[in-house]
Amino acid sequence: MLETTTMPVLYGTSVTLSARAFAVQTSTSELASWKFERRAVGPHDVLIEIRYCGVCHTDIHFAKNDLGFSVYPMVPGHEIVGIVTRVGDHVKRFNEGDIVGVGCLVESCRTCANCEEGEEQYCLNGAVYTYNGIEKETGNITYGGYSNQIVVNEDFVLRVSDTLPLDKVAPLLCAGITTYSPLKRWNIGKGHKVAIVGLGGLGHMAIKFARSFGAEVTLLSTSPSKQQDALSLGAHHFAVTTDELQVQKLSGSFDFILDTISCKHDLNIYLSMLKTHGSLVYLGIDPEPSQIALVSMVFTGRTVAGSLIGGIAETQEMLNYCAENNITADIELIDIKDINLAWERMLQKDVKYRFVIDMSTL
């Protein structure tokens, strides 16, 4: 079991918490052991001993500065499950010993129109992300879940059921809510024909949710070898998008397509598969601009949209839904010492379907 906390260190009038993590120091360095200070537990904060942390492709994007605004040192990780070990004096929702989760957000302004609508991820004054963000309380950089502990405001902490294996729950905090949210927003359910593009960490969760919601699900992939896995995960159909004949047969077939691919690819192939007024929602973070045939959209009423994650309330809804319906991620549990190899394997698409770090190995 992890140590619940380390001894606090006094800096002037602020008591910080010594923490351990794996971090990158530059955009070209590997992850390595690093010691640093977390902020003190404030009156509305929860201190969490991290038991498991999922490994997201976004971790690599930020570590490599693919989007151009990374800050170092960086401790990645935003799929966190752990145990509450201390609560601030004014915390009302959590107690020591509670099983909790932390996803991609740790703060927002709470007052803008989006925050008031429960869309903290789109905070108009800037959401604070679990890593590579700036804490409103201290002005310090936020450090993520490849760590032994984390301090988070209670409003951004989520309850996790003890009925599911916690290592398989961790990816729900990003891969889960990222796919659940657009499916719910577009009211996907019985009678809808849905396609999922890509069978990775996001794609495998999208299949599970769309199938659970009652949709007819097709997995679209460039890899014929993924057919059996897609069907085993719950897809009704499978199609290879490098096969021109299969693509033609799917023309005008789908009400909704969820695109999970995080590298450059041709969206027009998938646009052609939408019905009139169908929607393609893009989840992947591709730093390169995409070329879209607007004529195809105008003459069919098709829509292209993007989606990030969900707000805190929707993320809690998703976690509750998963507990009630026995939905978890398919994972490979790893030691923290193997994290650099895991990143290499992710880039080679060699994982089924999410790496999760056992943080007791830190």
75 pLDDT more than 90: yes
**29 or 11: whose pLDDT is higher?**
29
Q: Residue 52's pLDDT is what? A: 98
71 pLDDT more than 70: yes
136 pLDDT more than 60: yes
Same fold, 8-174+330-361 and 177-306: no
- What share of the chain has pLDDT > 90, as a percent? 87
Q: Residue 11's pLDDT is what? A: 31
* Residues linked to residue 274 through DSSP beta bridges, in sequence order: 254
Q: For the chain, what are the domain ranges?
A: 8-174+330-361, 177-306
2 pLDDT more than 60: no
Q: What is the pLDDT of residues 184-220, one digit of tens each?
A: 999 999 999 999 999 999 999 999 999 999 999 999 9
Torsion sign across C-alpha atoms 206, 211, 214, 218: positive
The DSSP-derived string for 199-229 is: -SHHHHHHHHHHHHTT-EEEEEES-GGGHHH
Dihedral angle at the C-alpha atoms of 354, 150, 164, 203, nearest 10 degrees?
Answer: -30
Mean pLDDT of 253-261: 96
Mean pLDDT of 282-295: 80
Q: Residue 290's pLDDT is what? A: 78
Which tokens hold the place of 55? Answer: 């490994």
Which tokens hold the place of 187? Answer: 């009211």
Mean pLDDT of 171-188: 98
Q: What is the CATH number of domain 8-174+330-361?
A: 3.90.180.10
**Which are the contacts of 114, defined by CB distance < 8 A and separation ≥ 6?**
120, 122, 123, 124
Query: Domain 177-306 falls in which CATH fold?
Result: Rossmann fold (3.40.50)
Contact 146, 76 (CB under 8 A): yes
Q: Let me know if 51 is exposed, middle or buried by CB neighbors in 10 A (0-12, 13-18, 19+).
A: buried
Pairing state between β 274-282 and 45-55: unpaired
Q: What is the pLDDT of residues 345-358, one digit of tens each?
A: 999 989 999 999 99
8 pLDDT more than 70: no
**Structure-token match 């398919």, residue found:** 330
Nearest to 48 by CA among 105, 108, 98: 98
